[in-house]
Structure formats: structure tokens, C-alpha cells
Amino acid sequence: MIARRRALRRAGPLLALALLLLAAWPVAGVALGFSRLYCPLANAVLAGHTFGQRGRARLQPLPALTRRDGDSVTADAQLSLTVDGFEGAIPLGICLRRDVYLPLLLGIAVIACFPISAIRRLACAAIAAAITVAAGIAANALVVAETFATQLHGVYPPGDLQRRGLQLAYGALLAPPGNRFIAPIVLGAGLVLLMQQRGRRPDRAGAAA
């Protein structure tokens, strides 16, 4: 019985990694489906926020993968920037698969590699998913703020210090592609180590008693 449990614990991470690799395969339907799920969550934050003076933003899922002239990514969603009192919108194509979906899978894959119980693994995965989605929404808001601040000065007229802060945050956090892969690895490993430390404290307390 004990040997079977150990075998299942060892096979669990391999099975989880195989499923994650399968989910990460570049399939258009998966990317578009994730975009449809993610956009309402992002709009719950973005739609109610005003950027500067009357600046608004809304994230919309695209019906198909799109790559416009001048775009650096194949977009599965679009940030529509509008200004209250003016017609029209500025469309910004973004790739949620690259920015949120793959980092989410990578964080879960890191968690799956650790030999921990299924309950702790699920708890870490749930926390990692919540943090990754929240970070993705914050990144979307940063893109909107930086665009308004640098391209539409009349809508979002920040001071020099604030403008430099936005440009620094954008350049340091979003521009380097490696950050999308380093952060999930650190997050997943950190959550597992934190969960293991919390699990050892009752054992130490019982030994001391």
C-alpha cells in the first residue's frame, strides 16, 4: 500500500507535466477560449476605472487570431482605448496566450514537479492561478496608462516623475520577454516552499510538547 502511494506520488508530477505540455501546444481554439474567459475578469477592473481625464479601456476577445501590420504579436484579444466625449477607439492587439496563459501553465508545471501531496499541490496551483491573473490585469492596466501618457497627452497628462515611473515600470516589467517565464518559476517554487514550511510547523510544535 505504501509502495503504491509512493509510485502514484512519483507518477503524478509526470502526468501533470504531460497534460500541461499538451495544453501549451499552440492551438488557436485554446488561445481564443482562454481569451473569452479572461476578458470579463479584466473588464471587471478596467471598465470601471478612468485613466487620467476621461480615458477608458476595455478588453475584448477576438473571434480569430489576428496579426496587423506593425504588430509584434499575433493577437487573441484587443484593448480598446476610448475617451469620454469623443468617438472612435484606439485598438491595441495583445496576446493573452503569451502574457497570461503560458505563464499560468508554467507556474503550475513547476508546482507539479515537487513531490508534495495532491491537496497541497492543488492549493498552490489555485493560489498561483489567482496571482497570475491578477498580475495579468495589472499589466493590462499598465499598458493602457503608458499608452495614454505617451501618446495622448491631453487625456492623461502625468507629471515628469509619473511619466518616467510609467516608462520605467513598462520597460522593466513588460518589455523583457524573460520576465514572463522567470516570474512563474519563482512564484511556483516559492509557493511550494512556503506550503512545506507551514506544514512542518505543527510537527515541530508537537515534538516540542
Domain boundaries, the chain: 2-200
Report residue 18 as a C-alpha cell: 504531460
pLDDT in tens, the chain (209 residues): 555 556 556 666 676 677 677 777 778 899 999 999 999 999 999 988 888 778 899 999 999 998 877 677 889 999 999 988 888 888 889 999 989 999 999 898 888 888 888 888 899 999 999 999 999 998 899 888 888 877 776 676 666 666 677 767 766 666 666 777 888 999 999 999 998 887 665 544 444 44
Output phi, psi for 115, to 5 deg: -80, 75
H-state helical runs in 24-117: 28-46, 96, 102-113
- Of 9, 1, 14, 61, nearest to 36 (Cα)? 61
pLDDT given at position 208: 47
- Of 51, 42, 44, 37, nearest to 81 (Cα)? 51
Report residue 158 as a C-alpha cell: 502625468
Q: Which helix H or strand E contains 192, and what residues bound it?
A: helix 179-208
Please classify residue 203 by burial: count the beta carbons closer than 10 Å to its beta carbon, then call 0-12 exposed, 13-18 middle and 19+ buried: exposed
The model carries a pTM of 0.81
Dihedral of alpha carbons 57, 48, 187, 76, sign: negative
- C-alpha 169 chain-centroid distance: 16
pLDDT given at position 196: 85
pLDDT given at position 209: 45
Quick one: angle between helices 118-151 and 2-23, nearest 10?
Answer: 20
Task: Note whether 148 and 51 are within 8 A (CB).
Answer: yes
Task: Note whether 128 and 206 are within 8 A (CB).
Answer: no
Task: Note whether 17 and 112 are within 8 A (CB).
Answer: yes
Q: Which helix H or strand E contains 144, and what residues bound it?
A: helix 118-151
* Amino acid in position 35: S
Task: Note whether 75 and 59 are within 8 A (CB).
Answer: no
